[in-house]
């Protein structure tokens, strides 16, 4: 195990996080805010720490990044970088302790969107911007930046790419750095288009900047306690479109930019995702029209936005979905556990795994009906290999067990059982909102016990890292030379 390579890469990423704080420092300086020193100190500390780490490991020989180093790097990066990202929260707000600051940063970088901050609109604009930057980096930026750094350091990158749970889905570019740059360019382009759309429809510059970053990262941080309720109307439809795009395989957009349209429209994940999203919206719209007196267009707009935001794992809210009734809440919990497509910024279980399980069940039913038939489950036109099926089943089993243990652990901290269930659901699926008596009217989790917050932190990290990436580190064989 080449620990120095893992440490050095995290040193470079620490420097990158420090540099990413500079726009927030510029906002404070332009506005003449006394809090400018917060981001100045935080950025300086991050850059200094990163440089010291790089210098301390720079005399070590670089090696190709093996699969074990890749898994260790992935887990260490996502656990450690939020600690650096939490510096402005701790330095700028003396009443925010390590737990709350780290929770907010982990929620941001894992694109979960849960928050422990209340009266968000009263926070300095630089802090609001930093919350958006954290989510944008977590959505795809950190992965791509690391991919670009690896060749510079003389390290291989494709293992890291695989360990992040990305599937290149018929890559059209020959090398990992090329893929990384293409994905980053797509990510930036979609973010800019989203920003322009929000600005044209009336959002302020700050709101458009933060919300566009959290939209494309499917993160869900907003600039007020009201979340997206302040932007009802056409903005809900526009946001729904970009959340859907962010939940689709980014590599398909790269292929589309090269003039190849077939992969996007023939992708079974994309077709299934759009179809299931439509089904969930239609089911809830019909329920609400039967049980409410609200007008059709209002019901359609509110339902479309809130179902898309929860299906994609973004976690915005523009309405009180709890008041819709038991059936819509059941649908919401279900779609939150489905998630977006592989190779997107979406989290949760993802469409690909659900399709593998469904096809495997269908194949097993056919075998029961015709015991002597040779049945091979397929995804689209391609057969599903046994190792893929085994890994998916292992993921499902570990996901369910982890979520169950989180529910029990959260319940033992004193939370109401409904709160424990939704808090475990929202953390491990990286969805964002939780529902229950301990959740404030603004959706903040401020009153949660400290232990409950740490359990949710573990759940957010495990969910973002696809469960197995974390738990493999706890196996003795992983550490054997």
What is the full DSSP assignment across 426-439?
HHHTT-----STTS
Tell whether the torsion through CA atoms of 272, 273, 275 and 281 is positive or negative.
Answer: positive
Residue 428 · residue 459 · CB < 8 Å: yes
Q: Which DSSP symbol is given to 321?
A: G
Residue 183 phi, psi (nearest 5): -65, -40
CB neighbours of residue 91 within 10 Å: 18
Residue 73 · residue 27 · CB < 8 Å: no
Q: What is the dihedral of CA 62, 66, 68, 72, to 10 degrees?
A: 50
**Distance of alpha carbon 340 from alpha carbon 346, whole angstroms:** 5
Q: State residue 388's pLDDT score.
A: 78
pLDDT per residue as tens, the chain (481 positions): 677 888 888 999 999 999 999 999 999 888 877 667 889 999 999 999 999 998 988 776 666 667 777 778 888 888 999 999 999 999 877 678 899 999 999 999 999 999 999 889 888 899 999 999 999 999 876 656 555 554 444 444 444 444 444 444 444 555 666 777 788 888 999 999 999 999 999 999 999 999 999 999 999 999 999 899 888 889 999 999 999 999 998 888 888 887 878 878 888 889 999 999 999 999 999 999 999 988 999 999 999 999 999 999 999 999 999 999 999 999 999 999 999 888 788 888 889 889 888 988 888 888 888 887 777 877 777 777 777 788 888 889 999 999 999 999 999 999 999 999 999 999 999 998 999 999 998 889 999 999 999 999 999 999 988 888 788 888 887 777 5
**Distance of alpha carbon 208 from alpha carbon 223, whole angstroms:** 10
Residue 204 in 3-state DSSP? coil
**Distance of alpha carbon 215 from alpha carbon 393, whole angstroms:** 31
Residue 356 · residue 392 · CB < 8 Å: yes
**Distance of alpha carbon 65 from alpha carbon 171, whole angstroms:** 21
For helices 450-464 and 67-85, the axis angle rounded to 10 degrees is 140
Token output for 99 = 């737990």
**Distance of alpha carbon 75 from alpha carbon 471, whole angstroms:** 10
Please report which helix (H) or strand (E) contains residue 378, including its range: strand 378-379
Residue 116 · residue 97 · CB < 8 Å: no
**Distance of alpha carbon 385 from alpha carbon 378, whole angstroms:** 9
**Residues contacting residue 63 through CB under 8 Å, at least 6 positions apart:** 2, 5, 69, 155
Token output for 268 = 């079974």
For the full predicted model, state whether its pTM sits above 0.85.
Answer: yes
Can you give the C-alpha Rg of the chain in angstroms?
A: 22
**Distance of alpha carbon 443 from alpha carbon 116, whole angstroms:** 9
Residue 472 · residue 395 · CB < 8 Å: no
């Amino acid at each position: 195990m080449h620990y120095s390579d893992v440490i050095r890469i995290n040193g470079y990423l620490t420097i990158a996080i420090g540099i990413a704080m500079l726009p927030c420092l510029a906002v404070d300086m332009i506005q003449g805010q006394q809090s400018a020193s917060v981001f100045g100190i935080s950025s300086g500390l991050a850059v200094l720490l990163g440089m010291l780490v790089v210098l301390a490991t720079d005399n070590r020989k670089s090696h190709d990044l093996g699969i074990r180093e890749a898994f260790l790097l992935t887990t260490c990066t996502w656990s450690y970088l939020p600690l650096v990202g939490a510096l402005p929260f701790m330095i700028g707000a003396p009443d925010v302790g390590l737990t709350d600051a780290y929770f907010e940063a982990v929620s941001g970088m894992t694109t979960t969107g849960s928050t422990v901050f209340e009266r968000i609109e009263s926070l300095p604009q630089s802090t609001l911007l930093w919350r958006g930057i954290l989510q944008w980096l977590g959505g795809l930026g950190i992965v791509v930046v690391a991919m670009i750094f690896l060749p510079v350091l003389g390290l291989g990158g494709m293992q890291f790419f695989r360990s992040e749970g990305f599937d290149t889905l018929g890559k059209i570019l020959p090398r990992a750095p090329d893929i990384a740059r293409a994905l980053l360019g797509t990510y930036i382009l979609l973010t800019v288009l989203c920003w322009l759309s929000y600005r044209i429809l009336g959002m302020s510059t700050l709101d458009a900047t933060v919300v566009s970053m959290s939209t494309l990262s499917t993160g869900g941080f907003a600039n007020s306690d009201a979340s997206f309720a302040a932007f009802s109307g056409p903005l809900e439809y526009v946001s729904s479109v970009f959340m859907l795009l962010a939940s689709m395989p980014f590599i398909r957009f790269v292929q589309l930019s090269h003039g190849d349209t077939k992969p996007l429209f023939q992708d079974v994940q994309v077709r299934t995702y759009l179809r299931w999203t439509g089904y969930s919206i239609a089911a809830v719209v019909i329920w609400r029209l039967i049980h409410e007196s609200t007008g059709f267009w209002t019901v359609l707009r509110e339902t479309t936005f809130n179902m898309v935001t929860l299906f994609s794992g973004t976690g915005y809210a523009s309405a009180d979905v709890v008041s819709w009734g038991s059936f819509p809440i059941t649908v919401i919990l279900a779609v939150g556990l489905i998630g977006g497509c592989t190779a997107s910024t979406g989290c949760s279980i993802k469409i690909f795994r659900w399709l593998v399980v469904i096809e495997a069940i269908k194949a097993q039913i056919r075998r029961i009906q015709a015991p002597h038939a040779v049945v091979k489950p397929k995804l689209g036109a391609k057969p599903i290999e046994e190792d893929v099926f085994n890994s998916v089943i292992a993921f499902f089993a570990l996901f369910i067990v982890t979520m169950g243990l989180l529910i029990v652990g959260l319940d033992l901290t004193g939370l109401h059982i409904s709160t424990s269930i939704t808090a475990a659901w929202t953390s491990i699926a990286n969805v964002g909102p939780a529902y229950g008596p301990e959740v404030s009217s603004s959706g903040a989790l401020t009153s949660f016990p400290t232990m409950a917050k740490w359990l949710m932190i573990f759940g957010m990290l495990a969910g973002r890292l696809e469960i197995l990436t974390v738990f493999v580190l706890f196996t003795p064989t992983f550490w054997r030379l």
